Amino acid sequence: MKFTSKTAIITGAASGIGRATTHALIERDIGVVAAVDRNEIIRGLAKETNDKVGREIAIPFVGDVTCDNFRKEVFAEIKERFGAVHICIPAAGITRDALAVRRNKDTGEVETYSREQLEEVFKINLVAPILWAMDSVASLAEYRFSRGKKRWTPEEGMQGAIVFIGSVSSAGNKGQISYAAAKAGLEGAQATLSKEAIFYGVRCSIIHPGFTDTPMVRSLGDDYIEKNILPFTQLRRLLRPDEVADAICFMLTNSAVSGSVWVDAGWHPAAG
């Protein structure tokens, strides 16, 4: 699939993997990228990019990806200005790490991971990516039906692609009960949407990055990274966001990719 004249949506575009992927698509001459993030800095980043490229290639949208009205507004504006959405990379995500069951040192009581945090992580990392991905496929489906097109045929060439952002933690990682469950949940979503979206010529896959040098991972602290991450990777360093972005671009362009791609530098965590 070629990027030229395609419209993409990337959430979490202000930082880390989402930001690197936005740059990667722009370098590869994408038509337009809707760069979505709740962080206001996305406006300045988009302006900088547009000034550099010399055209309006990055359109910033500031809001919370879990908000239905915000999502609808983004899709409505894109439809009005550019037509169908071809590519969706719902990368916005958070971590709320804590042991699933632990003893409170102060009270001596045994506590479990909070329901509030479980739901917050599921809302942002699982429910929102599914909703943004479904709306992208729906946008292309609507576009096709409005032109009298029904089931996609191979002669048309690929129409679009979704890449969910999973994680090595989807296979289980101590202290990440909410995050791991959300990322594993995306696998089920990918496997299902992949079977449905191909009706419209849209492929759907999921990337599982290893620990990547972004603010999300840096917030763990250098000491933690040194002791608990680097020894368990073959490269003995964090991945660079542009390496993950490059893999995402490969998944978007190579039509044979339909399932999971692990980009994890040989991540092999301790058993317990």
Ligand X SMILES: NC(=O)c1ccc[n+]([C@@H]2O[C@H](COP(=O)([O-])OP(=O)(O)OC[C@H]3O[C@@H](n4cnc5c(N)ncnc54)[C@H](O)[C@@H]3O)[C@@H](O)[C@H]2O)c1
Decide: is 71 part of the binding site for ligand X (CB under 6 A): no
Decide: is 64 part of the binding site for ligand X (CB under 6 A): yes
- 20 vs 137 by CB, closer to ligand X: 20
Looking at 103-111, 113-121, 137-145, 212-220, which segment touches ligand X (CB under 6 A)? 212-220
Looking at 44-52, 96-104, 195-203, 211-219, which segment touches ligand X (CB under 6 A)? 211-219
CB of 35 to ligand X, least distance (A): 10
Task: Determine contact, residues 37/116, Cβ cutoff 8 Å.
Answer: no
Task: For CA atoms 238, 272, 191, 89, give the dihedral sign.
Answer: negative
Site map (CB under 6 A) of ligand X, residues 154-173, x = contact: -----------x-x------
Tell me the backbone φ, ψ of residue 89, rounded to 5 degrees: -125, 95
CB of 147 to ligand X, least distance (A): 32
What is the distance between the alpha carbons of residues 32 and 26, in angstroms, rounded to a whole number? 8
Decide: is 225 part of the binding site for ligand X (CB under 6 A): no
Q: Is 154 exposed, middle or buried (0-12, 13-18, 19+ CB in 10 A)?
A: exposed
CA distances from 152 to 149, 206, 254 (A): 8, 22, 18
Looking at 25-33, 108-116, 188-196, 209-217, which segment touches ligand X (CB under 6 A)? 209-217
- 142 vs 242 by CB, closer to ligand X: 242
Written as one string, the DSSP assignment of 88-135 is EEE-------B-SEEE-TTT--EEE--HHHHHHHHIIIIIHHHHHHHH
The position carrying tokens 């916005």 is 92
CB of 53 to ligand X, least distance (A): 21
Q: Which of 24, 46, 84, 124 binds ligand X (CB under 6 A)?
A: 124
Decide: is 229 part of the binding site for ligand X (CB under 6 A): no
Decide: is 185 part of the binding site for ligand X (CB under 6 A): no
Decide: is 247 part of the binding site for ligand X (CB under 6 A): no
Q: How far is CA 16 from the centre of its chain?
A: 11
How does DSSP classify residue 37? E
Q: Which of 7, 15, 159, 190 binds ligand X (CB under 6 A)?
A: 15
Decide: is 205 part of the binding site for ligand X (CB under 6 A): no
